[in-house]
Amino acid sequence: MGKFIEAGKTGEFKDGSKKKVTVAGQDMLLARVGNDYFAVSNRCPHLGGDLSKGTLEGTIITCPRHGSQFDIRDGKNIRWMKGTGLFSAVGKALKSPRPIVTYKVKVESDNIYIEV
């Protein structure tokens, strides 16, 4: 069991919003979907794309580099790279699909905490 560290305020987030936060020296993506908050590693496990610059649709974050998709609720890989052809085949062969790291989040009053 880790330690919960403050990462933001609930007033900073509208439904469907996300931002990069640094907690205990780690870059994370913090997002609000409905009334729930989720925290995941901010780097795509494919080639390190900055997920905070990606697209969030519901609980699915899409990496802006190559279109890999992950569910921020559990880190599950939904799609490993977008596209077809030689480039996609080589990229998929070099790095096999992996999930993203997820972190526990709790909200107390208007403070958002992430467990590290």
pLDDT score recorded for residue 40: 98
Strand-pair partners of 115? 4
Six token digits for residue 5: 């560290």
For 20, the token pair is: 């990069």
Measure CA 111 to chain center.
19
Closest CA to 27 of 98, 93, 116, 108: 116
Stretch 8-25: mean pLDDT: 97
Q: What is the pLDDT of residues 23-46, one digit of tens each?
A: 999 999 999 999 999 999 999 998
4-108 is classed CATH 3.90.79.10: no
DSSP 71-85: ETTT--EEESSS--S
Per-residue confidence (pLDDT) for residue 116, from 0 to 100: 94
**pLDDT reported for residue 93:** 60
Percent of the chain with pLDDT over 90: 78
